[in-house]
Amino acid sequence: MCLDSITSTFLDLCHLIHAKGLVSGSGGNVSMRWGDQILITPSGRSLESLQGDDLVFLHSDGCFRCKDGGKPSQEWRMHLACYQRRDVNVVVHVHSTHAVAIACSLDADPDYAIPVYTPGYCVRVGRLPILPYAMAGSVELANQVGQVIQSRNSVMLANHGILTVGATVEAALNLTEEIEDEAKLHLLLGGHGRPLTQEQQKALRGGYH
């Protein structure tokens, strides 16, 4: 994919994430693989207003360049950890309201952040773990996320948000929305929901298309 094409796709994704209400202010960050570099959102900027010159090109050693002089998101280590552990092309990290509410909940199960209520969520997300709190931008957080992303496409970060990865923009964004919708459903049910049984979940994972 040429630079103009990937830049356009990347900006469309950033603007769409903001338009869907998955981030606010300068929260959240996104990255996309381009050859041996990573295109990543700049620090301190809203995804809503980003333009091509604002984007940062990041190398695996942490070196970067940006036409307007910006710096990469403080979460750049976390993004690199995902690409180093998995052959994925897109990483999306958001602070969506309902998912963050779960991430801050005293009652959240660290192994199953959100009960599995719906077939789609069962198949595409399922058992969503919550990582213990670690400082945003820290090596500790990057290492924790990288270890989880080795074997799955999504994770919740305690008191922070969610992260998803995918082979395509659509895959990563769809997964983000799936988690946010299930989190909203769980909160609306107020503890009175009826999750799918383990048997039902097993059957779905074996034959859902």
Q: Count other C-beta atoms under 10 Å from residue 150's C-beta.
A: 12
Residue 204 CA to residue 188 CA, distance in Å, equals: 24
Give the pairing type, strands 64-66 and 37-40: unpaired
Residues 99 and 90: their CA atoms lie apart, in Å, by: 20
Question: What distances in angstroms separate CA 167 from CA 153, 164, 208, one per listed residue?
Answer: 10, 11, 20
User: What is the distance between the alpha carbons of residues 60 and 125, in angstroms, rounded to a whole number?
Assistant: 28
Distance, in Å, from the CA atom of 151 to the CA atom of 153, rounded to the nearest integer, reads 7
Q: Is 75 a catalytic residue?
A: yes
**Beta strands across the sheet bearing 130-131:** 64-66, 56-58, 37-40, 29-34, 90-94, 161-166, 154-157, 130-131
CB 128 within 8 A of CB 115: no
- The catalytic residue among 48, 75, 178, 180 is 75
Please give the positions annotated as active site: 75
